[in-house]
């Protein structure tokens, strides 16, 4: 089996018409260090593998960006701008300034979170290694923290950069409900 390439993952992600629309729309909004990330990418891959429609089972579309303005008001303006521009897509779009995550993470998840220095730092900390993916909306480049081997081999492995066994188990179980052939390991 040939190793999975960035080009293949990008092509499969863009089989989802919502991903294509967001990758076309987001660069026009002038959001600093903006990436389309998370489930809409790896779940499109899993759908491709299982013969499902590209958007099947995707609960939301995550937009990560990095702006040193840590105010809620600044993030809220970006959220409103993206939601207004993407409302016609009829999907849940979640927008988060990665520079602010440490301000609210503990109250939501019960554990501390370091202040991030760039947008990819947030992707690096997703709970499952194979899900640490993002597409830079300005360059179209795929970012992958841990490579693509686990994604290619259908593995759900705890991310060594963010070990949280309880949350990992919940997330892995949620994915396995929709894609039961995925294998939780490690």
Residue 155, domain member (yes or no): yes
- Per the structure, how many domains does the chain have? 1
| Per-residue pLDDT at 159 | 96
Q: Which H/E stretch holds residue 109?
A: helix 101-109
Residue 127, domain member (yes or no): yes
Residue 1, domain member (yes or no): no
Q: Is the pLDDT of residue 107 over 90?
A: no
Q: Over the stretch 115-168, which tens digit does the pLDDT of each residue have?
A: 999 999 999 999 999 999 999 999 999 999 999 999 999 999 999 999 989 999
Which residue range is the domain that position 16 belongs to?
Answer: 6-184
Tally Cβ neighbours within 10 Å of residue 13.
Answer: 23
Residue 62, domain member (yes or no): yes
Residue 72, domain member (yes or no): yes
Go through 104-139 and write b for each residue having 16 or more CB atoms within 10 A of its CB, e for each that does not.
eeeeeeeeebeebeebbbbbbbbbbbbbbbbbbbee
Secondary structure E strands in the chain = 35-37, 61-65, 93-97, 133-136, 142-144, 155-156, 183-184
Q: Which tokens belong to 139?
A: 């360059």
Mean pLDDT of 9-36: 98
Residue 31, domain member (yes or no): yes
| Per-residue pLDDT at 1 | 79
Helices (H) then strands (E): counts for the chain: 8, 7
Q: Is the pLDDT of residue 109 over 90?
A: no
Q: Over the stretch 31-77, which tens digit does the pLDDT of each residue have?
A: 999 999 999 999 999 999 999 999 999 999 999 999 999 999 999 99
| Per-residue pLDDT at 40 | 97
């Amino acid at each position: 089996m040939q190793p999975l390439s960035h080009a293949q993952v990008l092509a499969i992600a863009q089989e989802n018409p919502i991903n294509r629309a967001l990758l076309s729309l987001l660069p026009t909004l002038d959001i600093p260090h903006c990436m389309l990330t998370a489930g809409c990418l790896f779940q499109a891959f899993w759908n491709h593998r299982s013969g499902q429609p590209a958007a099947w089972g995707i609960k939301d579309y995550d937009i990560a960006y990095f702006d040193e303005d840590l105010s809620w008001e600044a993030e809220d303006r970006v959220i409103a701008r993206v939601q207004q521009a993407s409302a016609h897509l009829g999907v849940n779009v979640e927008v988060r300034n990665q520079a602010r995550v440490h301000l609210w993470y503990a109250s939501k998840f019960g554990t501390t979170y370091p202040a991030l220095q760039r947008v990819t730092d947030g992707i690096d900390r997703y709970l499952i290694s194979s899900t640490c993916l993002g597409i830079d909306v300005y360059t179209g480049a795929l970012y992958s923290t841990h490579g693509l081997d686990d994604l290619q081999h259908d593995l759900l492995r705890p991310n060594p950069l963010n070990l949280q066994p309880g949350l990992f188990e919940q997330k892995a179980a949620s994915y396995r409900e929709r894609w039961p052939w995925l294998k939780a390991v490690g």
